[in-house]
Amino acid sequence: MELAPDDVEWVTCDSPVNIALIKYWGKRDEKLILPLNSSVSVTLNQEEVWEQSMKNARLQSVISQIKRLCRKRKIDGDQPNEKLQWKLHICSENNFPTAAGLASSAAGYACLVYALSKLYGVEGDISKIARLGSGSACRSIHGGFVIWNKGDAEDGEDSSTEQIAPETHWPELRVLILVVSDQTKHTASTVGMQTSVETSDLLHQRLQGVPKRIERIKKAILRKDFHSFAEITMKDSNQLHAVCLDTYPPISYLTDTSHHIMQLVHAINQDNSSNMVAYSFDAGPNAFLFMQEKDVPTVLDILHYFYPNSDPHFIRGIHVPGKHDTHVDYTAFSDIKVIPRALKFIIHTKPGPGPSVQESDNGLLTKDGLPK
Amino acid sequence: MELAPDDVEWVTCDSPVNIALIKYWGKRDEKLILPLNSSVSVTLNQEEVWEQSMKNARLQSVISQIKRLCRKRKIDGDQPNEKLQWKLHICSENNFPTAAGLASSAAGYACLVYALSKLYGVEGDISKIARLGSGSACRSIHGGFVIWNKGDAEDGEDSSTEQIAPETHWPELRVLILVVSDQTKHTASTVGMQTSVETSDLLHQRLQGVPKRIERIKKAILRKDFHSFAEITMKDSNQLHAVCLDTYPPISYLTDTSHHIMQLVHAINQDNSSNMVAYSFDAGPNAFLFMQEKDVPTVLDILHYFYPNSDPHFIRGIHVPGKHDTHVDYTAFSDIKVIPRALKFIIHTKPGPGPSVQESDNGLLTKDGLPK
């Protein structure tokens, strides 16, 4: 959000994407965007990968809620905020490759709500307002490891997010985003989860199991127990996609390449006698691979081997010196086919902080309040 | 089974494959091969598509059980059966393309048990012996529509099959087996279902829902209610594959082509405002499409359109005159991509009878008891 100078004021913010470890799938209230289950995510470093985007569908709801909070402060004794009368010019930009299929609306709404809160001087739990824009946007309000508690109240007042641990808690954790070549036209997650709630018997079993799973992943995060972290993350991703397949008509986000990546990850872990890598898939075919910093060169070597690609920009993000000489023994992977160019590119990132205010020099609007 | 003449006796039989509508996945007893849930199948016509095959793993168990039944008859007052002392020569042949991925062991064991029962003059419920060879073999002992009741007894005595309706009950029903080109190396179903039982939370929810689903498909079969038949069949196939994905490590039998076929079938049904086609997938990527005879030309036209293939033997089995002029309006399918050669070939068949004794001229053994 940015407004040109003089009798205008502007704020420029950026906001990170987040990837769910325990997935959000299914609403108990469509209008208030209240989830059927709590979820856990990790916020990704926006220096490497972030995005801004906006859709108009739920925009008015978000703006009016922020203004309501601003008015409430005024009633509570503060000075009236004349900015409430001002006109808003909003400009948004997405610097994350849309091909990566990360929920752009989550980062976009987190960014908008954060920027509006700075503009109007609103404090308090803005994640509830971000949720009204896009459910999982509420998790992008925090950095590091985040839990979105589903809450039980009808009005959603207890459906809130909190940080499990900051991004500095587990500095060795790394994320490789594998952008696959066989992108398909997917069912929008909003529509998809609605159909699952209506038709999938298996969703109910999933909902019963999530609380225990959340306790286990919280423990794994706090103890930096990568092996358990990986197992729970992979199982939850698989279960989400199982529920999608049990939906009628079925929803399928995973492609042959996604399944190939899953098979490769399990082979790496089996060869290592302990989990070295974990995958997670959102509403699309791209893989989010988690691993520890020390294992990044090995995993990159294996990915180069199975998905050969001569693109000089194949690996993006955090730099890892090339030719790692990790001496992987590929006889352990003899069952797995090499598929040239199965991946478009890989983004290397790590857990990161929540939204932040940017220097105005980076603003997206001209002095006249129009997009540059 | 066949033995050469003179002081030998021989029997030559063939036995059909069956495709499950309500799938068998998970055993409650590994040794007795007792299932966790009842299942329903349709036996396919062996004039068009059948197979024989044999594995040695459970062979001895099947032979000794047949001999036990034969001895039991003798104790019950019949003449002693001197054949029990004879040596057995067994030869088996599979005329169904193995690429089609139909459980060859099911038809093979049904055939063996049937032939042995004829040789030794054993009567009664031989499906229980077939089950010891390969779980779903017990369903191939009957023609038409078959239920395998899981039973509750520890010794499996009440785990038995019965015919819901003969193949003549619904003469309009047709099956197209779509053999896809992207065959993958699959997890064997025996190992797969064992891992599911150990690791899939969602399997338990599935088991709770199966009895109701079986009641509904029995009704649909008896009423020849194709719309319901199709919906239940597709939902059960999807649920089975959802459970496979929820297994850890996950099992994936469906490929991109399988998913494309599923998407196409749902598009056809939506365009038709009622189910015209149903899919079902076993432990492999090939699709079994069910439809009524009147709709076969339309469905074949659509399949030719989306999976163009110039192979003159592309359609096998029951003959349908070419160039059907069904005037399909493809604007309803604008979302769906055309994929040349996604299918290897299509087999056109229909429900059929159980195993039968063949003329000896067709035997597989020479007079010396050796394979021809």
Task: Answer left, alpha or beta for residue B74, where phi above 0 means left and psi between -120 and 50 means alpha.
Answer: alpha
B212 has a chain A CB within 8 A of its CB: no
Q: Do the chains contact at B246 and A242, CB–CB below 8 Å?
A: yes
**Quick one: how far is CA A267 from the chain centroid?**
26
What pLDDT does A52 receive? Answer: 36
B32 contact partners, CB below 8 Å, separation of at least 6: B132, B155, B156, B159
Question: Which positions in chain B touch A249 (Cβ < 8 Å)?
Answer: 262, 266
How many CB pairs below 8 Å do chains A and B form together?
A: 69
What pLDDT does B49 receive? Answer: 40
Question: Which positions in chain B touch A201 (Cβ < 8 Å)?
Answer: 205-206, 209, 239
Q: Are B125 and B30 in contact (CB under 8 A)?
A: no
In the block, residue with structure tokens 């691993």: A291
Band (pLDDT 50/70/90 cuts) for residue B305 is: very high
What pLDDT does B212 receive? Answer: 95
**From the CA of B303, how many Å to the nearest CA of chain A?**
20
Give the count of alpha carbons within 13 A of A127, CB side only.
24
What is the enclosing helix (H) or strand (E) of B127? Answer: helix B127-133
CATH architecture of B13-167+357-362: 2-Layer Sandwich (3.30)
Q: Do the chains contact at A246 and B262, CB–CB below 8 Å?
A: no
A231 has a chain B CB within 8 A of its CB: yes
**Of A170, A146, A172, nearest in space to A160 by CA:** A146
In the block, residue with structure tokens 């048990």: B113
What pLDDT does B360 receive? Answer: 61
Residue B298 has pLDDT above 90, yes or no: yes
Residue to substitute from B238, B268, B279, interface A, most A β-carbons within 10 A: B238
What's domain B173-349's superfamily in CATH? GHMP kinase, C-terminal domain (3.30.70.890)
DSSP structure class, residue B82: G
Tens of pLDDT along A90-124?
877 766 655 455 656 778 888 888 988 888 888 88
Taking only residues 245 to 274 of chain A, the set having a beta carbon closer than 8 angstroms to any beta carbon of chain B reads: 245-250, 252, 255-256, 259, 262, 266
What pLDDT does B323 receive? Answer: 63
**From the CA of A272, how many Å to the nearest CA of chain B?**
15
Q: Which of A234, A235, A248 sits opposite B235 (nearest CB)?
A: A248
| CA–CA distance, B333 with B317 (Å, rounded to integer) | 27
Q: Do the chains contact at B259 and A252, CB–CB below 8 Å?
A: yes
Band (pLDDT 50/70/90 cuts) for residue B10 is: confident
Q: Are B364 and B12 in contact (CB under 8 A)?
A: yes
| CA–CA distance, A207 with A33 (Å, rounded to integer) | 17
Tens of pLDDT along B348-369?
999 989 888 887 666 777 776 6
Tens of pLDDT along B227-263?
999 999 999 999 999 999 999 999 999 999 999 999 9
Question: Which positions in chain A touch B204 (Cβ < 8 Å)?
Answer: 205
**Quick one: how far is CA B1 from the chain centroid?**
21
Question: Which positions in chain B touch A342 (Cβ < 8 Å)?
Answer: none
Task: List, by residue range, all CATH 3.30.230.10 domains of chain B.
Answer: 13-167+357-362
| CA–CA distance, B165 with B144 (Å, rounded to integer) | 6
Question: Which positions in chain B touch A242 (Cβ < 8 Å)?
Answer: 202, 242-243, 245-246
Q: Do the chains contact at A201 and B209, CB–CB below 8 Å?
A: yes
Task: List, by residue range, all CATH 3.30.230.10 domains of chain A.
Answer: 13-167
List alpha helices for B176-255, DSSP H: 189-199, 202-223, 226-246
Question: Which positions in chain A touch B238 (Cβ < 8 Å)?
Answer: 245-248, 250
What pLDDT does B269 receive? Answer: 97
Band (pLDDT 50/70/90 cuts) for residue B95 is: low
In this predicted complex, what is the ipTM? 0.87
Q: Which of A242, A248, A259 sits opposite B243 (nearest CB)?
A: A242
| CA–CA distance, B186 with B99 (Å, rounded to integer) | 12
**From the CA of B255, how many Å to the nearest CA of chain A?**
6
Q: Residue A178 to residues A188, A199, A280: CA-CA distances in angstroms?
A: 20, 31, 11
**From the CA of A308, how many Å to the nearest CA of chain B?**
21
Q: Are A266 and A139 in contact (CB under 8 A)?
A: no
CATH architecture of A13-167: 2-Layer Sandwich (3.30)
User: What three-state secondary structure class fits B202?
Assistant: helix
Q: Are B24 and B37 in contact (CB under 8 A)?
A: yes
What pLDDT does B52 receive? Answer: 36
Question: Residue A36: how many CB atoms within 10 A of its CB?
Answer: 19
| CA–CA distance, B245 with B199 (Å, rounded to integer) | 11
Q: Do the chains contact at A238 and B259, CB–CB below 8 Å?
A: no
Which carries the bigger pLDDT value, residue B83 or residue B148?
A: B148
Question: Residue B149: how many CB atoms within 10 A of its CB?
Answer: 15
Question: Which positions in chain B touch A235 (Cβ < 8 Å)?
Answer: 248
What pLDDT does A275 receive? Answer: 98
Band (pLDDT 50/70/90 cuts) for residue B293 is: very high
Q: Do the chains contact at A259 and B252, CB–CB below 8 Å?
A: yes
Tens of pLDDT along B173-219?
999 999 998 777 677 888 888 999 999 999 999 999 999 999 999 99
- Residue pLDDT tens, chain A, 372 long: 444 445 667 777 777 778 888 888 888 888 787 888 888 888 887 654 433 334 466 788 888 888 888 888 766 665 666 778 877 878 777 666 554 556 567 788 888 889 888 888 888 889 899 888 888 889 989 999 999 999 999 888 899 999 999 999 999 999 999 999 877 767 888 888 899 999 999 999 999 999 999 999 999 999 999 999 999 999 999 999 999 999 999 999 999 999 999 999 999 999 999 999 999 998 889 999 999 999 999 999 999 999 999 999 999 989 887 666 778 889 889 889 999 999 999 999 999 898 888 876 667 777 766 667
The residue length of chain A stands at 372
Joined tokens for residue A368: 């006249």
Question: Residue B57: how many CB atoms within 10 A of its CB?
Answer: 11
B183 contact partners, CB below 8 Å, separation of at least 6: B99, B101, B284, B285
For chain A, the first-to-last Cα distance in angstroms comes to 13
The CA-based angle A245-A248-A253, given to 5 degrees, is 35
The CA-based angle A116-A118-A122, given to 5 degrees, is 85
Residue to substitute from A237, A253, A256, interface B, most B β-carbons within 10 A: A256
Radius of gyration of chain B (CA): 21
**From the CA of B262, how many Å to the nearest CA of chain A?**
8
Task: List, by residue range, all CATH 3.30.70.890 domains of chain A.
Answer: 173-349
A182 has a chain B CB within 8 A of its CB: yes
